[in-house]
């Protein structure tokens, strides 16, 4: 905490630069994009994207997920902030670009991978939901409450994992909901130097891009090509996108 307080004092001493940027933004707002990034403390989104004050709207969550509006587990996603974030940025503020930003060594993707292994061992009964096995929703909710993080990761990451586990050289991601949604592909033969978790993280970025197309409120913007959906993936140790 002392380090944080010292940082505040240091920032206050150099506040003129910030105030100048804020004044410039207030006089001529220039919002570049909405960004969905991970909560990982190493992901300094504004710094990585070299943005100035006011240029980015950022939502952060474990796994940089965009909750799918047409989720088969809709009752579990009722507290998801994504719909509000998308409405604020893409509709009310009329931002035309949204970026899904993933990264290497992602703990959320590591957990997703482990949960997938647990599913096959049947040690977490609720993980079988997407295999259409009969479950007791009340009991499932009670189980999930014991681990909010596992619930969040599985609900929003299972589609990524299902596709990734096909073990095809080229993974394809597409939407059955929106006709304008492009098919996105990840060529695993070009990324053999990456770990399994990093490959899963890259696949997840593509799946979350597809999920943006699941929102009915964005139909017109997407159909008219007004809204552009981008994916970025950052490798920490090489400092490359």
State the DSSP H helix or E strand holding residue 200, giving kind and residue range, or none if neither. helix 196-212
Phi-psi region of 110 (alpha: psi -120 to 50; beta: other; left: phi over 0): alpha
The reply, when asked if residue 38 is annotated as ligand binding, is yes
Q: Which of 77, 54, 57, 52 is nearest to 66 (CA)?
A: 77
Residue 66, phi then psi, degrees to nearest 5:
-110, 105
Return the sign of the alpha-carbon dihedral for residues 70, 183, 95, 235. Answer: positive
The reply, when asked if residue 80 is annotated as ligand binding, is no
The first and second tokens of residue 129, run together, are 């939901």
Q: How far apart are CA 218 and CA 68, in angstroms?
A: 13
The reply, when asked if residue 105 is annotated as ligand binding, is no
Q: How far apart are CA 107 and CA 184, in angstroms?
A: 24
Number of H helices, E strands in the chain: 9, 6
The reply, when asked if residue 187 is annotated as ligand binding, is no
3-state secondary structure of 73: coil
Binding-site residues for Zn(2+), in ranges, read 38, 40, 103, 106
| Binding-site annotation: residue ranges | 38, 40, 103, 106
């Amino acid at each position: 905490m002392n380090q944080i307080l010292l940082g505040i004092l240091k920032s206050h001493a150099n506040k003129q630069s910030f105030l100048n940027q804020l004044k410039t933004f207030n006089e001529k707002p220039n919002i570049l994009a909405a960004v969905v990034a991970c909560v990982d403390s190493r992901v300094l989104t504004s710094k990585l994207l070299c943005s100035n004050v006011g240029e980015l709207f950022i939502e952060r969550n474990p796994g940089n997920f965009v909750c799918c509006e047409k989720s088969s587990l809709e009752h579990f996603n009722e507290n998801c902030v994504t719909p509000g974030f998308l409405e604020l940025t893409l509709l009310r503020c009329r931002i035309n670009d949204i970026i899904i930003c993933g990264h290497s060594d992602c703990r959320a993707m590591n957990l997703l991978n482990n949960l997938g292994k647990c599913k096959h061992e049947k040690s977490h009964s609720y993980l079988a939901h997407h295999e259409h096995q009969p479950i007791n929703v009340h009991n499932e909710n009670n189980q999930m409450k014991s681990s909010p993080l596992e619930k969040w990761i599985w609900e929003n990451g299972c589609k990524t994992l299902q596709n990734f586990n096909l073990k095809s050289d080229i993974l394809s991601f597409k939407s059955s909901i929106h006709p304008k949604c492009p098919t996105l592909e990840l060529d695993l033969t070009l990324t053999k130097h990456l770990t399994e978790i990093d490959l899963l993280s890259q696949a997840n970025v593509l799946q979350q891009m597809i999920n943006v197309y699941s929102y009915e409120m964005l139909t017109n913007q997407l159909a008219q090509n007004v809204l552009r959906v981008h994916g970025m993936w950052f490798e920490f140790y090489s400092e490359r996108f």
